[in-house]
Amino acid sequence: MKDHAFDGFLPRINSNHRTVLIAGGAGFLGSHLCEFHLQQGHSVICVDNFQTGAMANIRPFLGRPNFSLINHDITTPLQILQPVDQIFNMACAASPPGYQKNPVHTMLTNVMGAKHLLDLARDKGARILQSSTSEVYGDPEIKVQVETYRGNVNTCGPRACYDEGKRAAEALFWDYHHSFGVQTRVARIFNTYGPRMHPDDGRVVSNFIRQALKDEPLTVYGDGSQTRSFCFVSDLVAGLVKLMNSEETEPVNLGNPTEITMLELANIIRRKTNSESKIVHLRLPTDDPKQRRPDICRAKTLLGWQPAVAFEDGLAQMIDWYRSELDGARLDDAL
């Protein structure tokens, strides 16, 4: 592992071969993106500060000739000597407890981190994709969120460091594209779940599965009538890759439009895990969005993308993975 500057050269295998830099590559989504690109025969430079990522997510890739790891915080500039073709910016704590732990750092990750990666993309002539979020819509006033909706967001609340930071990053991407011609892509990602989501990261699917498997009460915040739409990780990775390789510079929603309430989710997970756990209701966090569902017409039309994994099938895969994790294999890599 190296700090700050990567001065090694990963091999270029053929003309279709790419060098892909994945910031946040040790996290949930980033590690799946690393795996996908390695499987395709590309070279991967993973950049991560391990704030919420886990070494276990990338351990299988260490030692491969086309994988390298840089321990680096993107709030400071990053120097890479070798050519880079594509940059995925996946770096930012994504769970509300994770990103609210150090809100100033979250904002700086979103804004300064985006700037440093955009500067790198400009320097290298690389394409760069921003992992934006449905949070840019805030607590939406429309039932299905389309990309042209401008959102109902709060600059003065506990979620602001994340959702306002992501909005500022989108603006910076727009500016680098229009001012400097950088090939930017913006994915507005809706709630995604699957293996490698850290069991203790505080998000709802990970909390409920962990609680159900440990026979602990499932903690539903508020009355549980708020909704989310959950996309399985393999679908999301396919969408991100299609967007990166498209010519689309406008933001594109990526998510699964199947919408459920958190109370329904708790009951599905209890059933699928055969759990006897009770449901308890805890305080609804400030500014918690009441409802969320993506309009994915743009992704369907422009990318030919739509999710393929049914929620019950994705959950089954995630539950299997959690069973093996909670059996003790990996939790040395605590958050």
* Site residues, ligand UDP (CB under 6 A): 95-96, 191, 203-204, 207, 219-221, 226, 228, 262, 285, 288
28 lines the binding site for ligand NAD (CB under 6 A) = yes
Distance, CA of 239 to chain centre: 12
**How many beta carbons lie within 10 A of that of residue 31, not counting itself?**
27
229 lines the binding site for ligand NAD (CB under 6 A) = no
What tokens were used for 291? 């409802």
Report the interhelical angle of 28-39 vs 233-244 (nearest 10°): 60
Beta bridge partners of 5: 79
Stretch that binds ligand NAD, among 88-96, 120-128, 146-154, 261-269 (CB under 6 A): 88-96
Which of ligand NAD, ligand UDP, none does residue 221 bind (CB under 5 to 8 Å by kind)? ligand UDP
Q: What residues from 120 to 149 belong to the interface with ligand NAD (CB under 6 A)?
A: 131, 133
Which of ligand NAD, ligand UDP, none does residue 44 bind (CB under 5 to 8 Å by kind)? none
| Residue 303 CB, nearest approach to ligand NAD (Å) | 17
How many residues bind to ligand NAD according to rule CB under 6 A?
A: 29
Residues 6+ apart with CB under 8 A from 31: 25, 53, 57, 58, 196
74 lines the binding site for ligand NAD (CB under 6 A) = yes
Q: Using CB under 6 A, pick the residue from 18, 35, 42, 53 that binds ligand NAD.
A: 53
| Residue 316 CB, nearest approach to ligand UDP (Å) | 19
Q: Are 207 and 265 in contact (CB under 8 A)?
A: no
239 lines the binding site for ligand NAD (CB under 6 A) = no
93 lines the binding site for ligand NAD (CB under 6 A) = yes
| Residue 207 CB, nearest approach to ligand NAD (Å) | 13
Q: Looking at 162, 176, 193, 322, which residue is catalytic?
A: 162
Beta bridge partners of 254: 189
Nearer to ligand NAD, 201 or 248 (CB): 201
| Residue 98 CB, nearest approach to ligand UDP (Å) | 9
Q: Are 154 and 287 in contact (CB under 8 A)?
A: yes
Residues 6+ apart with CB under 8 A from 20: 33, 37, 42, 43, 44, 45, 84, 85, 86, 87, 88
Nearer to ligand UDP, 15 or 286 (CB): 286
Q: Are 168 and 226 in contact (CB under 8 A)?
A: no
| Residue 308 CB, nearest approach to ligand UDP (Å) | 22
Sole residue written with tokens 């709802």:
204
Nearer to ligand NAD, 49 or 273 (CB): 49
162 is catalytic: yes
Stretch that binds ligand NAD, among 9-17, 22-30, 239-247, 287-295 (CB under 6 A): 22-30
Render 132-190 in DSSP notation, one character per residue.
EEGGGGBS-SSSSB-TT---B--TTSTTHHHHHHHHHHHHHHHHHHHHH---EEEEEE-
Catalytic machinery residues: 162
